[in-house]
Structure 1
Amino acid sequence: MNFILKNLKLSALALIICLGFTACDEEDDFQFTDDVTVTPDPTDDVVEANTIVDFADENGFSSLVAALEAANLTATLDGDTEYTVFAPTDEAFAAFLTANGFASLGDVPTDVLELILLNHVQAGSILSTDLSTGYITSSAEAGPDGENVSLFINTEGGVTINGVSTVTSADNIVDNGVVHAVDAVIGLPDVTTFATADPTFSILVQALTREDDYNYVAADGTGILQTSGDSPAPFTVFAPTDDAFVALLDELGMAGLDDIPADLLAKVLNYHVVTDANVVAGDLTDAMEVTTFESGTFTIYLGENVTIVDENDRSTTIIVTDVQATNGVIHAIDRVLLPEDDAFTPDNSIADFTANSENYSSLFAALRAADLFSVLDGDTEYTVFAPDNDAFAAFLSDMGFASLDEVPEDVLEQVLLNHVQAGSITAGDLQTGYYTSSSTAGPDGENLSLYVNTDGGVTLNGVSTVTTADVMVDNGVIHAVDAVIGLPNVVTFALADPTFSILVDALTREDSYTFVDILSSPDTNTPFTVFAPTNAAFGDLLTDLELNALADLDADVLSEVLSYHVVTEANATSGTLTDGMTITTFQGEDVTINVGDNVTVTDVGGRTATVVLADVQGTNGVIHAIDMVLLPTLDD
């Protein structure tokens, strides 16, 4: 009708023009004397509408147009509200009908068809450049309780939706939004749809399908997690990412999923599934206890992040929430949850403690460098005095090393072993006295001694204090300390052990004395055997000599006496001493050893001292504590 009217108007206009020209011919002097106002016809410049429905109708999407009409959605997408539509081609609809056993669109239930179509619709106009890999919400209210289901968008190498439908023609702008043509109908997703579509869950999919007798996912859609409508659906799935699985394998010391026994892997997978519940993030409450498909439990805590604590007290964080499917919801987590099971109890060895404790990263690095990590990661029980990072930094600075890499590996190994005791020794078991370390840095490979002082805490070799005691681990106990326990020489023990405080006073009394320097030497006249008088022994000497204090003893005489207690170039442990053995001292005269119920040392004057503590082993010699000061031949 408009077309006819337009043609009539054009004919009339032509006639008027012709008449005008005729009039001009007849009256050449004719001139316009009045202004003429021409009112345009309002229908001349009308722009036709181009909605989503118009686009589909005019660009070969006949199946989509028919489907919209059948589902009563034409008016929705033909109005003013803006939408983004992923528009399946006719070929896509044909493939969908065949795959689902429908002869035609008329066979698809209207309510199902409506939800499928709405699964292709997003609110607002979204260009392809606005899309990024991740989850968006479709307009289909197909969740178990009418929730809008999710769509997974993958923009790697194009745009793919739910792993099944690819955009073939993007950004077709229309009056009420944008249309992206796709090559497949985006079916209503179940929870397995997102697991298979999202590459973040590739290892989870491998786990779910590893065994033929697993029935989580089936090609014909009959897997447990593909169940819809009836119990055990709906599901709430806490889905570990690939990184979470990699971390678990590392935690368990396994190379791959195949190292996990099938029944135990199934138990772990079941532990991540809650049945008969579509638990969205808004349903979670603090300290909520959740019973899983495996019949185990875990606890959810709300805070800055939502965390889950499993039956092994391991904490997991939810990193993506509310991936909604027709038969349940997925929450992505950053750590695999483990049910209570001996086979899956994570190792918590001494080595693991260093690996997982940020403040002990230097100790971890040192153990790796010295090839001792595996020793402390095994089943044998040890007690370790563990220096923190600050302690290592101070040690390196004091020793003139810029980094751990500069410490010779053999030295580093012995220093570390000096912090290790065989067996599990709690702080309550420690007593003041000497223990044997695992370091074999003695002159002939002997194990070094470690002096423990429990007066007012626990101090080791006089230089390192326990700051945190009794950290129990699978293969022993850890005591955190504030300083590295360096390799001790004989002077170390004299300084550390208050039993020898008067001996130290004697060795350092005169500025001219060089005993400390000599006895600290790693090579000159070494190794040493020191018969070290106790404080009580010095007290008895002063009484015998009728002196009030050590200062009353002549300096030269004191020097002779001290030298008489040192044997050079011999690490004479108690096992090497024999009855009647004579030993020449640093002073030049001999002492005689007698071995019986006790080991005794007799000086040149016939005074006999008893060894009250044997074999305090340093790097440059050994100490035997004696209960009497030995006296050489002294000038009157």
Structure 2
Amino acid sequence: MKALIKLSSLTMLIFVLILSSCSEDDNGTSNPPPEVPTSNIVEAAQATADLSSLVSALQKADESANNDLVSALSGDGPFTVFAPTNAAFADLLTQLDGFDSLDDFNSEQLQDLLAVILTYHVISGTAAQSTDLSDGQSLTTLQGSELTVSLDGRVFIGDATDVDAEVTTANVETTNGVVHIINKVLLPQTILDDLADIILVPITDLALGNENLESLVAALTAANGDLPTVLRGDGPFTVLAPSDEAFTTFLDGAELGDIPVEVLTNVLLNHVIEGALFQADLEGLGSGYTHTMATGAGEENISIFFDTADGVTFNGVSSVDAADIKALNGVVHVVDAVIGLPNIVDHAIANPNLSSLVANLTDGGNTTFTDLLSMEDETFTVFAPVNAAFDDFTNPNGNDLNAILSNHVVVGAAAFSSGLSNSYVNTAAEFDTDESLSLYINTDDGVTLNGVSSVAIADIVATNGVIHAVDAVIDLPTVVTFATADPNFATLVVALTTLTPSVDFVDVLSAQDGNGDDPFTVFAPTNAAFDLLTDIPGEADLIPILQHHVIAGANVRSGDLTPDGDTVTPATLEGDTFTITLPGTDGNIANVTDGAGNMGIGIDAVDVQAINGVIHVLDAVLIPDTMN
């Protein structure tokens, strides 16, 4: 019985001890005791997956004989440690030129620098909970420099950079201190100085720190206020940064404020290329075009020509003085001249592969083309033959070279490759000085022009239009040129050649400059028009049918027809006339009644102008009067 009483007393004592070990909150509610930490700072980091880079950094720093950080942070303490996450270390590595991982800290000097960085995250002699920190508080680190605390609903730690670290997880208690996990590697000023040659900053900050780019910084400030922010963006960008001397030459005594803001902004954007292009990249390409962020014709990005034949030059006016200055968000090349906004002529002059074109355009001091294509209040599309194209051109018809060159220029439109289709456009060349010649564009397989010239380089964008470099000179077209170039006339071509060998229609219809029956007005049936025939007649019957589609000695355009009435044509090569009624019906531009009296034949397209005549397109084959 006494033994039972003693056992009960012992049980009661244990129960009292258990109760006395529990705390009460302000409401008298009991709470369990806090967990007692069992790991030191290093062990706690090793057990946290998101701090594996920190552990690796400690181990890498300790490869130098000068450091023993793992042992120190495993010691008695107490310590307060601000622990960067894996993502924070990854961000640091992206800012370091040539550093892909912590393994790149592979020398004693670099390992000692890493130790300086790590000890900058340690406060010795205290285990400061987040509640112990106050706004504006200065903390002296084990490295010797100061950290600054700021509180704004959250806890931020400021270092020598412009970006504070945020405490993302606070108060991780260990046996020898407390850890606060942060989202950025903290850097003291000494490290920024030591790593000045390898630490990368955004392009805008790089320019701010370069004494030779003060004018560029001033220009960025004077221009669109968003530009410095843009160049701090993710990028990557390639920036061609004009030196102060380059800006002095460009301004020629004027002030930045004298340049309209929108113009200055576009000029500066003409020095920015999306993507990182290092000198080796450019040299590997040799020469060519890319686009800047400036805006040109059609709201398209302006093209810029680079050439590495003698150094690295841009648009033939600016050379690289200092290449491959790496930034956090791209690369900077310091250039010796401001690159103006190029018009059509500027682009032609800049590209050495267009030197023959420039020479022909300016032959004998001719300024007609340079004056025309330098106009900023007009828009042009230029099909520019490369040097090899001029080498191969023999000018078989002896056409005037100025007229041939005009035939490569479309006035009033910037036709980009994305908007091209099988169609006719008018060029600056003229028939009989008052009618623009046509140019047939075919996009079935690349882009070809009049069936003889292909686009080799498309969409060279200027301020006043677009250039397409082509591989052959485009001679002045005859009506035969268009018949053979346009696949809609394939059956007509067969009829004029293979099916009628006794008549050389090609020779007849190629005559120009009054050397034959030119000019001609040709009413050209499409493939679909021939398909409407039960059979294509034999040669004897086919010859007069084909002749019934051609009027010799006249260039009859749609404007020559009688509006709201009938026009009887001059006699055809076959001898008959036919009647054209304008306007047409059922979607036709005009209706035709042929020599045999067949009505309702439609003219679907008009005024395809050649140097020796004009073509109108028919949806049916004309039949002559076989009874006369």
TM-score of the aligned structures, taking structure 2 as reference length: 0.46
